[in-house]
Amino acid sequence: MNEPLSRRGVAAAGGGEPVSSPGAWAARSSEPDSSPCAPIPVRGIPASGGEAAQGGALSPACVSVLSVRGLRKAFGGNLAVDGVDFDVHAGEMLALIGPNGAGKSTTFNMVGGQLPASGGSVRFRGSELLGLSARRIARLGVGRTFQIAAVFASMTVCQNVQMALLAARRRVYGFWRPARPQQHAQALELLQQVGMRDQAERSCSELAYGDVKRVELAMALAGDPALLLMDEPAAGMAPRERKALFELIRGLARARGMAVLFTEHSMDVVFDYADRVIVLARGRLIAQGGVSEIRAHPEVRRVYFGSGASFEAAGAEPFAENEVGS
């Protein structure tokens, strides 16, 4: 586990063979806003091409990092997640949206190992995740951030990232001192990537909320994840701040070839930053596709607005208008 902070190659689903380095991915992806992948057809939902997906075969860079099939979760008689299928690809920003109670958090928690599934399969780079602990899943290369950023307020920015590096390398706390110079340099490198290098020695308690979210992102990157799960990363942030955060996340996804699966209630960021969108309602996947397809999708509009309205009319903030989301 002493590998350098530079990114790992991305391993193929099923085989574990590195097929794409981030450098190679960046070279192929000269258009930073273009989606890396065409959609994969999944059970029950036609794979009508996303904007960047028109016209043919999948790009060689389009490696499925996560494959979810038939995922289910029952809470007693309530089927919170009901046979959900989707893929997330290297370098891709995939948004998981849906009204309150749709099953987004439940899905996230099953993928991240916080919640046992009732059925189905979650394969990460070919390995089954269901049944593994959250810690084990993290060590396989699945990073996670939470709605409420989890940092130690009493520690400096750099110390927080050093702790995350130690945890990622399975070092016990007693190794803190000997490991410190190396961890410090690596922490600074990560902080550079999230634009927080110049605040490394500040206490986290002094930071603006947007900066705390950047620190949390640097901590999630300490495990060098091939997949990052972000549960409402921009919750509680002002529009300008959340756009800046999503610019950063998308840049990191592209540069590292890192797949990002995120939930978000702010439709402006979903529509601006997602390569593809999957939509849950009452535990079922009702649509998947590119942003413009999802905006125009009759079933999606129906679950968000009833009938008649549109995302455009609601100013891309349907939940605020309709009080069906947080």
Q: Considering only CA atoms, which of 280, 272, 277 is closest in space to residue 249?
A: 272
Q: Which of 36, 113, 143, 325 binds ligand ATP (CB under 6 A)?
A: 325
Tokens of 276: 């593809």
Q: How far is CA 194 from CA 48, 217, 226, 234, 251, in A?
A: 35, 7, 17, 15, 10
Among positions 76-105, residues that touch ligand ATP (CB under 6 A) are 78, 80, 98, 100-105
Minimum distance from residue 147 beta carbon to ligand ATP (Å)? 9
Cβ proximity to ligand ATP: between 98 and 113 the closer is 98
157-168 and 209-221 helices, crossing angle to 10°? 20
Check residue 326 for interaction with ligand ATP (CB under 6 A): yes
- Please report the sign of the dihedral spanned by the C-alpha atoms of residue 66, residue 259, residue 30, residue 288: positive
Q: What is the smallest separation between the CB atom of 101 and ligand ATP, expressed in angstroms?
A: 4
Question: Other C-beta atoms within 10 Å of 315: how many?
Answer: 11
Question: Residues 183-202 vs ligand ATP: string with x where CB under 6 A?
Answer: --------------------
Instruction: Determine which residue in the list 106, 156, 186, 288 makes contact with ligand ATP, applying CB under 6 A.
Output: 106
Please give the helix or strand (H or E) that residue 248 lies within, else none.
Answer: helix 239-256
Q: Number of residues in contact with ligand ATP, rule: CB under 6 A?
A: 13
- Of residues 73 and 297, the one with the C-beta less far from ligand ATP: 73
Using CB atoms within 10 A of its CB, is residue 292 exposed (0-12), middle (13-18) or buried (19+)?
exposed
Smallest gap from residue 106 Cβ to ligand ATP (A) = 3
Furthest C-alpha separation in the chain: 64
Closest CA to 284 of 77, 72, 141, 116: 72
* Tokens (6 digits) for 96: 């998981």
SS3 109: helix
In terms of Cβ atoms closer than 10 Å to its own Cβ (0-12, 13-18, 19+), residue 306 is exposed
Question: Site mask, ligand ATP, residues 56-75, x = CB under 6 A?
Answer: -------------------x
Can you read off the two tokens belonging to residue 115?
A: 């919640």
For ligand ATP, the closer of residues 59 and 106 by Cβ is 106
Of 318 and 325, nearer to ligand ATP (C-beta) is 325
User: How close are the terminal C-alpha atoms of the chain, in Å?
Assistant: 40
Q: How far is the CB of 325 from ligand ATP (least distance, A)?
A: 6
Closest contact distance (angstroms) between CB of 301 and ligand ATP is: 18
**Smallest gap, in angstroms, from Cβ of residue 280 to ligand ATP?**
6
Contact between 266 and ligand ATP (CB under 6 A)? no
Query: Cβ–Cβ contacts within 10 Å for residue 305, how many?
Result: 17
Pairing mode of beta strands 276-281, 93-97: parallel
Give yes or no for a contact between 219 and 160, defined as CB atoms under 8 angstroms apart.
yes
209 interacts with ligand ATP by CB under 6 A: no
Smaller CB separation from ligand ATP, 5 or 74: 74
For ligand ATP, the binding residues (CB under 6 A) are 75, 78, 80, 98, 100-106, 325-326
